[in-house]
Amino acid sequence: MLERHEYKGPWWPPDDDSDPLPGTLAVEKGKATLEVIGDFGRELISSSERQQTYSLNLEQKPRLLGTSTDGKPITLEGLWEAGSKIHFPGLPTADYRTRAVLVGRHFPEGEKITFDEIAIGASDLNAWTRVSGFSTSIETEDLDDQGHSAFVGAEARYEAPEEIRIDLARGEEIAISFTCQSNGLWGRSDRVEMRQEAALRWRFPRPIDLASVFDKVGQIRNFLSLAVGRPVSITSVAGFKSTYKLGNSDTLRPIELYWEIPHNPEPPENARDPREMLFTLTEIEPDASTTIKRWLARQDRLEPVFNLYFGTLYHPNLYLEVRFLAFAQALETYDFRCRRKPGSKSLAERTRDVLGQCRAVTKRIVGPDTDAFITEFKNTRNYYTHYNPKLERKAAKGTALYLLTLQLQTILEMSFLAQLGFPCRTVEGVLERAGRFAEIEHFRASVAEQETDEAH
């Protein structure tokens, strides 16, 4: 999904008998551009029995087919003009952007693209499971009777762990499977590397369309990012269907899927330590099914809240004021969306209600004086929303604003964990282990020190 792919070959509309056009499809981080020699027609402006009038703009195409030079069938879904050029001397070229690239099958005109199952690769997924198929042993040799020893040899063995299955609502199922990638096992080598990788497979009782695939990937990515405590990268997505098979065999044909996932960063170089995560798979077992079902069941109702929270999480370089306002709006929207009978309430009232979910946790987040926190939050939010000069002196700035933003983020995390069914005592333990309280205390001390220095 993140690597650059290039496919050269002929391209043609599935409903057109004209000769294919030679071109190159470039896909990088899911963003796909097709450059062809010539074009697939101009946009029709008007038509009559006597004449047709065309625009200078290229015609949008719902679907194109292609075959790469190494024999891969490719479908491009949803194309629009990215630009055209006329070279003197030379040949005219046209660039098309496409919504999605499907490598592995030609989908004819009119055939709906659907899948029974999708396989998702994601960064930190393997660490999140806390499952390992490795067993190791080290052999040493005693050198003397003083307890000194020397390394003699080592042995590592890998057996793939059993697939983990998680039942969801309406007959859906998530399965996590494990494989081992290795280097240096064959022939003579001075270095051997073995690495376990996990893949998440989401199975559906009825086929889902391409738009639903995009939604499902986004929902599970957000869930994993919340659990891991940092943005998770989607590294690969493949679709499967019982009718898409390899030749005459019963083996399902994987359809590689590429599309531009918003804010999908490069995978981190180092795996996340499970002790830094909010929660791991082992911590929600044996009831992982209920936890993930709760998450999926709240997507529609809390979608604006998730968009604000994760949109900020996936944008680490946002200005601090923007991060603060996004979290502030997410908190207010969370309270509104969680009310059975939403009413007109002030920001202070909504904040107090959200803080009331887990009072012991709240005290460690905002400090002993809840009223003072709410007042500072309200004044700061109103100032950065309207920039009223009368509120400037009351608004948090610098380190104080960073602390307030961190507190809002932690309040939202507390709220999401509560929505997943975590008891308040467990939520407190989770945030403690993840270092949220320690970080808050660190910046609270920094703010107090600055205030003391300013007073003198």
User: Do 125 and 96 lie in a common domain?
Assistant: no
Residue 274 lies in a domain: yes
- If you write DSSP's letter for every residue of 299-367 in order, what string do you get? HHHHHHHHHHHHHHHT-TTS-HHHHHHHHHHHHHHHHHHH-SS-----HHHHHHHHHTTSHHHHHHHH-
Contact 388, 382 (CB under 8 A): yes
Residue 77 lies in a domain: yes
Q: What is the pLDDT of residue 88?
A: 66
User: Do 310 and 228 lie in a common domain?
Assistant: no
Residue 57 lies in a domain: yes
User: Do 273 and 304 lie in a common domain?
Assistant: no
Residue 407 lies in a domain: yes
Q: What is the pLDDT of residue 54?
A: 65
146 φ, ψ to 5°? -95, 5
User: Do 96 and 190 lie in a common domain?
Assistant: no
Q: Full-prediction pTM beyond 0.85?
A: yes
Q: What is the pLDDT of residue 248?
A: 85
Total number of domains in the chain: 3
- Residue 227: both structure tokens together: 């659990």
Q: Which helix (H) or strand (E) holds 235?
A: strand 234-240
Identify the domain boundary among 284, 318, 341: 284
How far CA 19 is from CA of 37, 79, 95, 308, in Å, comes to 12, 19, 18, 48
Closest by CA position to 65, among listed 41, 27, 31, 98: 98
Residue 12 lies in a domain: yes
Residues forming a β-bridge with 64: 76
101 φ, ψ to 5°? -120, 130
Residue 444 lies in a domain: yes
Cis peptide before 13 (omega within 30 of 0): no
User: Do 386 and 424 lie in a common domain?
Assistant: yes
- Give counts: helices (H), strands (E), the chain: 12, 16
User: Do 276 and 305 lie in a common domain?
Assistant: no
Q: What is the mean pLDDT of each run of 10 residues along the chain (456 residues)?
A: 94 90 96 94 76 76 95 95 74 92 96 97 96 93 86 91 96 96 83 92 97 97 96 96 90 96 90 92 91 96 97 94 98 92 87 96 96 97 95 96 98 97 96 95 95 81
Handedness of CA 210, 75, 233, 196 (dihedral sign): positive
226 φ, ψ to 5°? -60, -45
Q: What is the pLDDT of residue 370?
A: 96
Residue 368 lies in a domain: yes
- The three-state secondary structure class of 9 is strand
Q: Which residues are within 8 A (CB) of 106 and not within 5 positions of it... i.e. 6 or more apart?
A: 14, 65, 73, 74, 75
Contact 96, 84 (CB under 8 A): no
Q: What is the pLDDT of residue 225?
A: 97
Contact 174, 292 (CB under 8 A): yes
User: Do 319 and 450 lie in a common domain?
Assistant: yes
Residue 446 structural domain: 299-455
Distance of CA 230 to the CA centre of its chain: 10
Alpha carbons 11 and 17: distance in angstroms, whole number: 12
Q: What is the pLDDT of residue 96?
A: 93
- The three-state secondary structure class of 158 is strand
DSSP strands (E only) in 241-377: 255-258
User: Do 280 and 308 lie in a common domain?
Assistant: no
User: Do 135 and 239 lie in a common domain?
Assistant: yes
Four-CA torsion 253, 258, 262, 267, nearest 10 degrees: 80
User: Do 308 and 421 lie in a common domain?
Assistant: yes
Closest by CA position to 271, among listed 196, 175, 182: 196
* AA identity, residue 185: L
Q: What is the pLDDT of residue 52?
A: 74
User: Do 262 and 314 lie in a common domain?
Assistant: no
79 φ, ψ to 5°? -115, 145
Q: What is the pLDDT of residue 198?
A: 95
DSSP state of 265: P
Alpha carbons 283 and 298: distance in angstroms, whole number: 21
User: Do 216 and 317 lie in a common domain?
Assistant: no
Q: What is the pLDDT of residue 48?
A: 75
Residue 266 lies in a domain: yes
